[in-house]
Each structure stands twice: as structure tokens, then as C-alpha cells.
Structure 1
Amino acid sequence: MLLEELCQRYREGERDFRGINLREGDLTNIILPGVDFCRADLRQARLGKIRLARSLLREADLSEAILWGADLSQVDFYRACLRDADLSGANLIEANLEAAYLTKAVLNGVNLNSANLQQALLIDADFRSTSDQRTDLGKTNFCGADLNYANLSGSLLYRANFADCRLCRVNFRASPERDGFITDLTGASFRGADLSYADLRGAVLEDVDLTDADLTGTLF
């Protein structure tokens, strides 16, 4: 389907575009809130600054898609594939990323406040913060997620749930003197999590729950 046809049908009130093929399409700056893109093919699509709030992208394939600065608030990405996708600066507030595949995804400066990442696969995902765009993962549900080798340094992780997560060699470290901010894990739950060889030096650990966590080689 051509982009012009998609936009015209959307303006006419159509919202059901399940299974649509937009591979390598350019939807930069397009406004499509509430659209149904379930099982859509959006591989390598250019979706920078797209507005998709409250949309359905369940089981959609967004491998290598560019989503920087996109409004993805309250979007349902259940079991979606976002491998190698660039979500830098995206708004993912209250998004559902349950069981989503985010291996090697770039999530610099994203806002995942109150998002659900339960059972998500986040191996080698990059959550690095910058001095003017800090990653907010407050109250995020990572329960059972695989975050091995992820970089979460300097992130806001207050009251996040990492229960039963795999966090081997995750970098939570931050230096206020060097970076200008710290990693805030206040009230976070690591109950039953694998924190082996994770780096927590300099992080705020007030009221953290480490019950049954694997702390082999963990740096505090």
C-alpha cells in the first residue's frame, strides 16, 4: 500500500491496517494515533517522530526500524520484534512491551515510565543516557526480562521491578563527578534476579529488595 493511500484511508476513518506491508517505507512525522498495525511488516521503516499513541502493534515486525523521537505512548507492542531498532528519545510512557524482542535495540533517552516490559528480550539493548536527555525507567516492569549486558548507567529506575530478571554484567554505574548524574534505584525490586558481575557502584540503593538475588561478583 502506498503511503498516500494509507493516509487517505486514515483520514476517512479507517483504523484497521492489520498485516500491512510498509517495509522500508518513510512515515517520518506522520500522525496516526489509534491505528491497528498488528502483525504489520515495518522492517527498516523510517518512523522518526511518528505519532502512534494508543496504537496496536502486536506481533508487528519493526526490525531495524528508525523510531527516534516517536510518540509511542500507550502503544501495545506485545510480542513485537524491535531487533536493532533505533528508539532514541521516543516516548514509550505506559507502552506494553510484554514479550517484545528488543535485542540490540537503541533506547537512548527514552521515557518508559510505567511501561510493561515483562518477559521482554533486551540482550545488548542500549539504554545509555546523555547529559540533557536522561532515560526514565521509573516504575517499569522488567519482571523476567533478559537484560544481560545492557547499559543502564545514569538511568532513573526508582521503584522498577527487576524480579527474576537476568542482569548479568549490566552496567548500573554512574559517576556524578564525571557524568553529572547518578543511577537512581530507590525502591527497586531485584527479588530472585541474576545480578552476577553487575556494576552498581555509585548507584542509589535505598530500600532496594535483593531477596534471593544472585550477587556473585556484583560490584557495589
Structure 2
Amino acid sequence: MNSEELLQKYRAGVRFFGYLQLRAIDLSGMNFSGADFMQADFSQANLVGTHLTSCTLEEANLTDANLETADLRRVTLAGADLIRANALCADFSLAELTGADFTDANLCTARLIGSNLVGAKLTGAILLGASLMGASFESADLKGANLSCSYLYEADLSTANLEKVALNRALYGPHTVFPVGFDPQAAGAYPIMAGVNLSGKDLSGTCLPGVNLEGANLSGADLRNSEMCWANLQGANLQGANFTGTNLSGANLLGAKIDEGLLDGAYLCGAILPDGRMRGVDFGYLKAEWR
């Protein structure tokens, strides 16, 4: 079945396409939301930007498929093969991915928020900058995976295999669960929580909206171009930190030490500033409202 025949059937109301041989098919940009492709063969298929929301792809073969920017929210991919798949910027939020095989897959900047990856295989997978908040990795195999710069808030990695995993600049919070005895900071990850010491750390370009860094030590940290709107920075040590291009709108900096911080170009609309502690700051064109 070619792409035109498949799309015509879908538009006519057909939703079951299980077991089909769709190897190397081009369905880029098409909408098949809610369809059932159980055990279908999508190996080497072009699924760039394809809308597959709430689809069933249980035990489907997507080896070497191109899923770049595909919408896979709430999809069922249990037991599916995604070996070497390109899922750059794809959205797997709230997806059922138990036992799926992502060996050597490209999941850079992909969204797997709240996804179930219990027992999934991600050996050698690249998850650079991926959003993994609230994802469950119980019994998942992440050996040799690259999770650098990923977001791990509230993720459960308690029983995951993290052998040789890269976590450089990955961000985690107080509710992220790692295996017993595993030291995420030794692996290069940064804790984002109240009172933490992130002095001199590179947090440039990170997404930190609404985080609680009350009393944290961020002296000398690089926070250029970061998103920190509504962040709680009360009493934090921000001396020497670089906030160029940082979005601090609505942030609470009450009592923060920033007399030597570089705030030139920071966006502070609606921010609560630390009155009396601003001497020596290079504001450039910055106009902030004191409260």
C-alpha cells in the first residue's frame, strides 16, 4: 500500500492498519492520529513531522525510520523497534514505551515528558537536551547513552542501568530518583534545588522557569540566555554571575547578593529585586522596577 492509498483509507474512516508492510514509505507531514499500526513495518520510513498522536504502534518496526519533529504524544510503542531511528525534536510525551528498543537512536531535544520507558533499551542512544521530566526508566538499559543537557526533573531512574551514561550538564531536582549509590554530580549532572552550590557552573541556554534556587550559590555561574522566569532566587549568591540575555521576568531576587553580577541585557519585567544590594551592577540599557 502506498502513501496515497493509506491516506485515502484513513480519510474514509479506516483506522486499523496493523501488520502492513510500509517499508521506506513517505508519510511526512501527514495526519494519522488515532490509527492502529500494530506490528506494521515502518523501517526506513519517512515520518518527518507526521502526526501520530494516540496511535497504536505496538511491536511495530521503525528501525532506521526518520521521525524528526513527529508528533507521537500518547502513542503506544510497547515492544517496538526504533533501532537507529532519527527522532530529533520528536514529541513522545505521555507515550507508552515499555520494552521499546531505542538502541543507537537519535533523540536529541526530543520530548518524553511523563513517558513510560519501563524495561526500554536505550543503549548508545543520544538524548542530548531531551525533556525527560516525570519519565519512568525503571529497569531500562541506558548503558552508554548520552543524556547530556537533558532535563530529568521528577524522572525515575531508580532501577535503570546507567553504566557509562553521559550526564554532563543534565539537570535534576529533589524528586529525581537515581539508583542507590549512584552519584549524579560525579557524572556531571547539576542539581536544581534550594541551597545548592552551583558556583562557576555553565548553565547558559538552559530552561529553568519557576525553579526553586532559594539560598543557592550561583556565584560566577554562566546563565547567559537562560529562561528563569518566575524563578525563586531569594537570598541566592549571584555575585559575578553572567545574566546577559537571561529572562528573569517575574523572578524573586529578594535579598539576593548581586552587587557584582553582570545583568546587562537581562529581562526583568515584573521581577522582585533586592533593594539596597545593587551597587556596582552594570545595567547597560536595563530598566528595572524596584519593589
TM-score (norm 1): 0.83
Query: Does 1:163 find its partner at 2:158?
Result: yes
- Give ranges in structure 1 of 5+ residues lacking alignment: 130-134, 175-181, 208-220
Hey, what's the Cα distance between the residues in 1 that align with 2:71 and 2:132?
A: 16
* Counterpart check, 1:113 vs 2:113: yes
Aligned counterparts of 1:92 and 1:156: Cα–Cα separation in 2: 14
Could you tell me which residue of structure 2 aligns to residue 201 of structure 1?
Answer: 188
Following the alignment from structure 1 to structure 2, what is the Cα–Cα distance between the partners of residues 148 and 205?
A: 24
Q: Distance in 2 between matches of 1:158 and 1:121?
A: 21
Per-residue deviation, residues 105-164 of structure 1 (Å, max 9, x unmatched): 0000001100000000000000112xxxxx210000000000011111111101100121
| Pairing of 1:132-147 with structure 2 (within 5 A) | 135-147=130-142
What amino acid maps onto 1:99 in structure 2?
Answer: G
Partners of 1:168 and 1:95 lie apart in 2 by 25
Alpha-carbon separation, structure 2, partners of 1:89 and 1:65:
14
Tell me which amino acid in the other structure corresponds to 2:171.
Answer: T
The equivalent residue for 1:35 is 35
The share of aligned pairs that are identical, in percent, is 34
1:11-61 deviation line (CA, Å, top 9, x unaligned): 110000000111011111011100100000000001000000000000000
For the pair 1:188 / 2:184, whether they are aligned, the reply is no
User: What displacement does 1:200 show?
Assistant: 2.5
Counterpart residue number, 2:68: 68
CA-based RMSD of the aligned residues comes to 1.9
Q: TM-score, normalised by structure 2?
A: 0.63
Aligned to 1:179: none
Q: Which runs of 4+ in 1 moved over 4 A?
A: 195-199
Residue deviations 1:62-92 (CA, integer Å, cap 9, x gap): 0000000000000000000000000000011
The Cα shift of 1:186 comes to 3.4
User: Which residue number in structure 2 is paired with residue 49 of structure 1?
Assistant: 49
Corresponding letter in the other structure for 2:15? R
Give 1:192 deviation, angstroms. 4.4
- Corresponding residue SS for 1:7: helix
Is contact 1:157–1:186 with CA below 8 Å preserved after alignment? Answer: no
Query: What is the correspondence of 1:82-101 to structure 2 with a 5 Å cutoff?
Result: 82-101=82-101
Which residue does the alignment assign to 1:77? 77
Residue type of the alignment partner of 1:143: E
Alpha-carbon spacing, 1:197–1:190, altered in 2? closer, same or farther (3 Å): closer
Measure, in 2, the Cα distance between the counterparts of 1:126 and 1:192.
Answer: 24
Structure 2 unaligned regions, length at least 5: 195-291
Does the residue aligned with 1:5 lie in a helix, a strand or coil? helix
Figure out how many residues of one structure are paired with residues of the other and give that number: 194
